[in-house]
Amino acid sequence: MKLRFCCALLLTLLATGVQAGPATLPATAASSSSPPSTCAAPAAASSIDKKASAVFKPVQPTDVETEAAQLSARFLTRFHYDAKPLDDAMSQKIFNDYLKALDGSKLFFTQADVDKFAPLKTKLDDAIWNRDLSGPFAMFNLYVKRALDRFEYARGLLKQHFDFTTDATFDLDRKNAPWPKDAQALDALWKKRVMNDWLRLKLTGKKPADIRKVLDRRYKGYIDRIHQLDGQDAFQLFMDTVARTTDPHTDYFGPRRAENFAIAMRLSLEGIGAVLQEDNDYTQIRELVPGGPASDSGQIHVGDRIVGVAQGKDGCMMDVIGWRLDDVVDKIRGKKGTVVRLEIIPAKAGLDGKHTVVTLTREKVTIKEQAAKKKIIKVTEGGKTHLIGVIDLPSFYEDFAARSAGDPDYKSATRDVAKLLKELKQKGVDGIIVDLRNNGGGSLSEAVNLTGLFIDKGPVVQVRQSDGSVEVDADTDPGMVWAGPLAVMVNRGTASASEIFTSALKDYGRGIVIGEPTFGKGTVQNLVNLDRFGSHPGKKPTYGELKMTIAKFFRINGGSTQLRGVKPDIGFPKNGDDKDFGEDTYDNALPWTHIAPAKYRKVADLESLVPVLEKKHQQRVAKSPAWKLLLDELAVYRKNRARTEVSLNADKREAQRKHFEALQKSFNARHKAIDGSTDSIQVQLDDGLQPDERSLKNQIKDEKEAENAHDVMLDETAHIVADEVDLIHAKPKLASEVLPYGGKQTPGFGLPALKVASDAGGAASSH
């Protein structure tokens, strides 16, 4: 079976049951209370007293990695949709992109460093074909050395006094800046960087001693984390560059990333059911998955720190203080039914508290937070009340392995949405919103099947191979799960499979598209397991996987979402991210093209309805304090985002801070007057800290506030759907135009009701 993906933004770093929390950098190891390890463990990179770069051990490629690179090149040059030879011209592209991947902000390499590697510009093709990756690894090793030197230099600067009365500025965006000429130019640049870090903390009222402590710990944490980089990191980064030079969505997955991608698609894994994050040198419990082994044990709590991991009931306890998060994850994950023991410091005990050992049996854990969810919005306007159902779908997930194995209960976005739609129908909703904001895609078959929940049957997407042949993927199951008024919410983060679903409904006239223009990814990827082709002797290695673009998808009207995305019927204000985010921001994106339309007929005609709904929308938001507040916050956000430099003058920065503080107070007061909340999501005062430097309690609090914040755009979309319901009820003739198939399958709108297949299990069970 072909496993085809349309994923631009789907990958998530997943850990022992759900996912890893915000990536942080370990600092000094600090637990004298930890008992000695009963078995050998890799030494943690911490408490480095001598010059950091002097103790760095350069990494080298393995035979497996050089063969994996050659295998990947063979596939890319023969089977990629837009296959190009791996020659000197491609080598130059790889070289330039690899430099950007290593040092895109030009903070570590000097012009002399870049010149040193200039001979590699036309030799990286030969390096891959000849299985000699010493050149790109040498670039990686020099990057690590330079990064270690820079952060040691930054630590040294903390001993001096800074002058914040000058008119100096610090560049926030250096991607187009020239390479620093020499070490002295880098020194000047890094002094400004440290000054900016210091000034951010100073403006919050922190004293010099506290600022020095925070920044020294931060820079030392960077040094420790850099020392944890290994050859796998070097190879992954280089292969990322090689793959993405062909197009933005071709990727190389090393063994870890391949497993994480599979977890993201099936929304399950075998582990303990915990979200982990780094907390200095510790691995901390960030969240527990309800129903998972960790939660059910009653012995593990949010904030606990894991300091040891042991396998089985009597395996040796391995000290994991100072380990990389993904290494700890590897030790905790395991097969269902096996035992893992965790040595933890309870959150309430403090770092010097008594350690406890918890024994857990690994189980299959479902990642429910990434699955489809539902809710109901009650819209009351003009004396009428309507219930509008909302389906929030984060991705088009599908458990391919379970499906291939014939598991009748395999995890599927379509199955979950069908179930939620039935539940919403039982609640008597009048309309449905499918919220695809920030849904980066996933399984192509899920996009087709999900479309089938809202149409009777017919073509959904056209897929053109590199040889020009075109396949039409269609929904072949009769009946609809939902036949009533429908809207699809989209934004710039709506990509790929989401765009297939959205454009199909738009072409059929089945639903109204509301929001921002979408991402614009119109390509299809296929997974190639390189283990099937590796020939390394001895113990079988893991070569990884290649997620390669093998086709383009086209709308059934013959157009393409590539570069152009899907244009909404009713547009909402943009936040400004489209300048740096979207298919058209990639230099090597495939071009827009079109083909002949598929054979299909519209199921409804929304052309007369959309202008009426647009007019009602504009009239409503013109009088809406919440909408006006949203526009004002977005304007501030766009202005902040457009900044490319900041002043290093304390008085100027203090004035700016006071201005933003006044804005924040004003926005908070307006929020409170509108909906009782007191937090402005778009405008926040800078606290000078990085995410890992804030307390876990505050991190979780901020995330919950953001999650529970009043969603003005979703509410307005619900009002638009309610407007449609009112218009249909008021004009039965309109129902025959805008509801699918003349409204004959839509009970409750004044037309004869035919049997809806989902009520009898037909379409719903077959999707």
Segment 48-69 mean pLDDT: 79
Which of 124-128, 265-269, 331-335, 370-374 is predicted with the least confidence, judged by mean pLDDT?
265-269
pLDDT band, very low/low/confident/very high, at 21 (cuts 50, 70, 90): very low
- Domain-wise residue ranges, the chain: 83-164+178-246, 268-366, 369-604
Which residue of the set 507, 569, 692, 723 is catalytic? 507
Is 210 tagged catalytic? Answer: no
List, in sequence order, every residue forming a beta bridge with 5; answer none if it has no partner.
Answer: 443, 525
Convert 201-213 to b/e letters by CB count within 10 Å (16 or more is b). bbbeebeeeebbe
pLDDT band, very low/low/confident/very high, at 48 (cuts 50, 70, 90): very low
Helices 625-641, 650-675: crossing angle, 10 deg rounding: 160
* Beta strand pairing call for 486-490 and 305-311: unpaired
Which residue of the set 46, 72, 443, 496 is catalytic? 496
Contact 6, 265 (CB under 8 A): no
What pLDDT does 261 receive? 83
**Confidence check: pLDDT of 22 > 70:** no
**Confidence check: pLDDT of 637 > 60:** yes
What pLDDT does 28 receive? 24
Contact 598, 559 (CB under 8 A): no
Distances (CA, A) of 317 to 312, 341, 502: 10, 8, 51
* Token pair in block for residue 64: 């497996």
Segment 182-191 mean pLDDT: 97
Segment 551-575 mean pLDDT: 96
Q: Rounded to whole angstroms, how far apart are CA atoms 630 and 713?
A: 9
Distances (CA, A) of 414 to 438, 444, 493, 585: 18, 11, 20, 31
Sequence-separated (6 or more) residues with CB below 8 Å from residue 193: 107, 154, 170
Distances (CA, A) of 310 to 42, 348, 617: 14, 23, 59
* Beta strand pairing call for 373-381 and 17-20: unpaired
The secondary structure of 14-54, three-state, reads CCCEEEECCCCCCCCCCCCCCCCCCCCCCCCCCCCCCCHHH
**Confidence check: pLDDT of 27 > 50:** no
Q: Residue type at 532?
A: R
* Token pair in block for residue 749: 């709108």
> Among candidates 423, 762, 264, which has minimal Cα distance to 253?
264
CATH of 369-604, one of 3.90.226.10, 3.30.565.10, 3.30.870.10, 3.40.50.2300: 3.90.226.10
What pLDDT does 8 receive? 38
* Token pair in block for residue 601: 């007929």
Q: Rounded to whole angstroms, how far apart are CA atoms 4 and 446?
A: 10
Is 507 tagged catalytic? Answer: yes
What pLDDT does 451 receive? 98
pLDDT band, very low/low/confident/very high, at 675 (cuts 50, 70, 90): confident
Segment 484-507 mean pLDDT: 97
* Beta strand pairing call for 373-381 and 545-554: unpaired
What pLDDT does 749 receive? 53
Chain-centroid distance, C-alpha 40:
36
**Confidence check: pLDDT of 102 > 90:** yes
Q: Rounded to whole angstroms, how far apart are CA atoms 542 and 536?
A: 10
**Confidence check: pLDDT of 270 > 60:** yes
**Confidence check: pLDDT of 662 > 90:** yes
pLDDT band, very low/low/confident/very high, at 685 (cuts 50, 70, 90): confident
**176 secondary structure, DSSP code:** T
**Confidence check: pLDDT of 26 > 50:** no
Sequence-separated (6 or more) residues with CB below 8 Å from residue 39: 316, 317, 318
Q: Rounded to whole angstroms, how far apart are CA atoms 279 and 344?
A: 13
pLDDT band, very low/low/confident/very high, at 716 (cuts 50, 70, 90): very high
Which residue of the set 106, 191, 206, 521 is catalytic? 521
Q: What percent of the chain has pLDDT over 70?
A: 88
What pLDDT does 755 receive? 29
Residue found by looking up tokens 């993906």 in the block: 5
Please tell me which residue, 457 or 693, carries the higher pLDDT value.
457
* Token pair in block for residue 334: 């395991």
Segment 67-76 mean pLDDT: 97
Q: Kindly report the backbone phi and psi dihedral angles of residue 487, in degrees, each rounded to the nearest multiple of 5, phi listed first.
A: -130, 150
* Beta strand pairing call for 274-279 and 17-20: parallel
Segment 280-290 mean pLDDT: 89
What pLDDT does 536 receive? 65
**Confidence check: pLDDT of 75 > 80:** yes
Q: Residue type at 151?
A: F
Has domain 268-366 been given CATH number 2.30.42.10?
A: yes
Is 412 tagged catalytic? Answer: no
Decide: helix, strand or coil at residue 333. Answer: coil
Mean pLDDT over each residue of the chain, to the nearest integer: 87
Q: Rounded to whole angstroms, how far apart are CA atoms 448 and 557?
A: 15
* 38 CB neighbour count, 10 Å cutoff: 13
Q: Rounded to whole angstroms, how far apart are CA atoms 511 and 513?
A: 6
Q: Rounded to whole angstroms, how far apart are CA atoms 415 and 446?
A: 9
Segment 332-349 mean pLDDT: 92
Please tell me which residue, 79 or 281, carries the higher pLDDT value.
79
Contact 649, 164 (CB under 8 A): yes
Segment 247-266 mean pLDDT: 87
pLDDT band, very low/low/confident/very high, at 54 (cuts 50, 70, 90): low
What pLDDT does 187 receive? 97
Query: CA angle, corner 693, sides to 688 and 694, nearest 5?
Result: 90
Chain-centroid distance, C-alpha 223:
26
What pLDDT does 302 receive? 92
What pLDDT does 539 receive? 60
